[in-house]
Chains A and B, each alone.
Chain A
Amino acid sequence: MRLRILSVQDLGSGLIFMSFGAIAVVLAPSYHIGTALRMGPGYFPLILGGLMVLVGAALILRSFRVTDPPPALPRLRPFAAVIAAAAIFALIVDSAGVVVTSIVTLTITYSGVRGGNRRELLLLCIGMTAAVCVVFIYILGMPLYIWPPLWN
């Protein structure tokens, strides 16, 4: 008999949950498990990890039985733009200074928006970068460079 996936939601989330549960079950014994009287740091994770694997498995099984309407197809562009913008922010913020980081983050995110234009982007960068410098550096005194420190 061929199994048909009726619920992408159950299958997909079930796989995610099962992998998290598996990680917990595999790693928990390396911490001390202990007994019910004196629970070690591994006790709770082992139990919940096991439960997580079971619930994940139940969801995967259910995906062949219960029908859900198919989810809206993901679009790559907005996803990639937001994730890349935040990831690059994390990578460069400590070394590149706020001005460069802000402009890069804004530009990458903006590239994920449909129907943008250069003038709007330019205004966005100028306005937001100035706002960030004033609010976070001058008023709140966050310890960040404004300009990249070239020869440190």
Chain B
Amino acid sequence: MELIHHLMLGFSVATHPVNIAYCLLGVTLGTFIGVLPGIGPLSGVAMLLPVTYVLPPTAAIIMLAGIFYGAQYGGSITSILVNIPGDASAAVTCIDGHAMAVRGRAGAALSMSKIASFAGGCFATLMIMLLGPVLTDVALQFGPAEYFSLMVVGLVTAVTLAHGSQLRGLAMVILGLMLGFVGTDVQTGTLRFTFGFEKLSDGVNLVALAIGLFGFSHIILNMEALVSRKIEMPKIIGILPTLADLKACVKPILRGMGVGSLLGVLPGGGAVLSSFTAYTVEKRLAADPSRFGHGAIEGVAAPEAANNAASQTSFIPLLTLGIPPNPVIALIGGALTIQGVIPGPEIISEQPHLFWGIVASMWIGNLMLLVLNLPLVGLWIRLLRVPRGILFPAIILFSCIGVYSVDNSAFDVGVAVFFGILGYAFLKFDCEPGPLLLGFVLGPMMEQNLRRAMLLSHGDPTVFLTQPISLALLLVAGGLVAVMVSSVLRNGHQQKLESEMSN
């Protein structure tokens, strides 16, 4: 009964004309960002963050969330039609999606990817509704020791799930934690690592860091690879999948939803990892794995269900625990903070219209995306004919203005330049920037909670082991470290896994 009451509240908020309008704007921009190669939801959210400052918090988050899951819908269009991932999480959709397109089944691949995304989105929304209140109750029991241990688990998971070398992933987390020190120490007022820059006394700006590390560096990389050639596109005949297609995809979609919902909640998981994992699962379970790579429709359906589910369930930790599991959510959390809403368990109890409004808007947004993407797919395809050369300068300009407008500070644009250079070096050295950003966001929270826990326990470090929840969390972290170390010793299971995926 309570759930129905909450849902009514949510839908009354989400169907407010203003919120509907921003939801539509968000999912449209999201699809746009997803279709365009070389710009992902992170750059998109960062660039549009300043636009949301003038909005009320609910409308702002509804729009930013729409950008995030909208990008999952749009990304598959480019993957299927031109074999370039429109979005990193749609990379795996290229494999079988494009193979289907080459065989003249582009229409079926497109519609199946949208149906799968829609199913994944609906399921994830349901998960948020059910899990949100439960996790909030748990989170309200948390003291500083529990929060500290939880963040340790989060960072360890992020390292475990990091792409490529885990030692480099660990280093990126530590560097992120250290960047979080920059600025004024909350407890003593001491200025740390500001190097004489007065503007750094509030810390490194999150948007500047994200735009530099992810936006600038990826655009440089994309410009390096850019070859001006005419994009060849297969003809689309018949948009609907056959009954046999639908039948073949029911189970893969269900499995994809499950994988995606689970990995979305995990720190360092998110849309990219979940689509790869869902693909691997399908290939393992298939009666005839050799069909994969040659246009197996399950290879399109499962990852698309997974990445959309993941992008939505990743809101759960933010809205209940106040901990962002991936960089895009970290930015959205930053947007909430700027709006004066502190992400955490208090949101559900104190601002129920915000929480349930966002949840309900996700359902509406997914419905909008289905309409936007299926009948109107031709419109998005036309977008692919825009010369890529003019795209990058436009993105750079918008990014600079986006960073500037957070604080009306040109200094922050300079900070973004610094992280752009650093981020480019990291990309060349195969260091994934995701864990760094997580460390940066969690660092200050961890330090606060550690120092507070130690004060409360009168300097007794065993407090982390005597509190049952904290102990359990640390055991999980320890277990993950053990698994990681043993797999490193067994010489690179990660590489094996990745080579399997790319086969």
Is the beta-carbon distance between B54 and A83 smaller than 8 angstroms?
A: no
Chain A contact residues: helix, strand, loop or mixed:
helix
**Cα distance A44–B228 in the bound complex, in angstroms:** 50
Residues of chain B contacted by A91 (CB below 8 angstroms): 410
Q: How far is B188's CA from A29's CA once the two chains are assembled, in angstroms?
A: 15
Task: Select one of B223, B414, B461 contacting A87, CB under 8 A.
Answer: B414
* B393 and A124 contacting across the interface, CB-CB below 8 Å: yes
Q: Which of A27, A58, A87, A120 has the most B CB atoms < 10 Å from its CB?
A: A87
A contact residues, total (Cβ < 8 Å): 75
Known: A20-B178, A113-B223, A143-B408. A86 touches B393 (CB 8 A): no
Please, how many residues of chain B have a CB less than 8 angstroms from a CB on the other chain?
Answer: 68
Q: Is the CB of B220 within 8 A of A110?
A: no
Q: Which residues of chain A are near B422, meaning CB under 8 Å?
A: 16
B178 touches A74 (CB 8 A): no
Q: Say whether A82 contacts B429, CB under 8 Å.
A: no
B421 sits at the interface (CB 8 A) = yes
CA distance A12 to B168 in the complex (A): 11
Cα separation A58 to B425 with both chains bound (whole Å): 19
Q: Does B190 contact A (CB under 8 A)?
A: yes
Instruction: Report the Cα distance A136→B388, complex, angstroms.
Output: 24
Q: Assess whether B228 is in contact with A114, with CB atoms less than 8 Å apart.
A: yes
* B interface majority secondary structure: helix
Q: Across the interface, which residues of B come within 8 angstroms of A75, CB to CB?
A: 224
Q: When the two chains form their complex, are residues A128 and B393 in contact, meaning their CB atoms are under 8 A apart?
A: yes
Quick one: given A27-B193, A120-B390, are A45 and B171 in contact (CB under 8 Å)?
no
Question: How many A-B contacts if CB must be within 8 Å?
Answer: 211
A36 touches B461 (CB 8 A): yes
The answer to whether B424 touches A90 (Cβ under 8 A) is no
Check A65 for interface membership: any CB of B closer than 8 A: no
How far does the Cβ of B443 sit from chain A's closest Cβ, in whole Å? 9
Judging by beta carbons under 8 Å apart, are A90 and B393 in contact?
A: no
With a CB–CB cut-off of 8 A, which chain B residues contact A93?
400, 404, 410, 413
> How distant is the Cα of A85 from the Cα of B408 in the complex, in angstroms?
18
Q: Is B56 among interface residues, defined by CB-CB distance under 8 A? A: no
Q: A41 touching B192 by the CB < 8 A rule?
A: yes
Asked, given contacts A10-B165, A45-B193, A71-B428, whether A110 binds B393 with beta carbons under 8 Å apart, the answer is: yes
Given known contacts A12-B429, A79-B424, A82-B216, A87 and B417 CB-to-CB distance under 8 angstroms: yes
* A140–B174 CB distance below 8 A: no
Q: A82-B223, A136-B405 are in contact. List 11 more A-B contacts (CB 8 A).
A: A13-B168, A17-B171, A32-B190, A36-B459, A44-B450, A45-B178, A79-B224, A106-B394, A113-B388, A115-B228, A140-B50
A-B contacts, 26 listed (Cβ < 8 Å): A9-B428, A10-B429, A12-B429, A16-B426, A17-B175, A24-B178, A27-B192, A31-B190, A37-B459, A38-B455, A39-B450, A44-B450, A68-B430, A71-B429, A82-B396, A86-B400, A90-B413, A93-B400, A102-B397, A106-B394, A107-B393, A109-B396, A112-B392, A128-B397, A140-B405, A142-B401
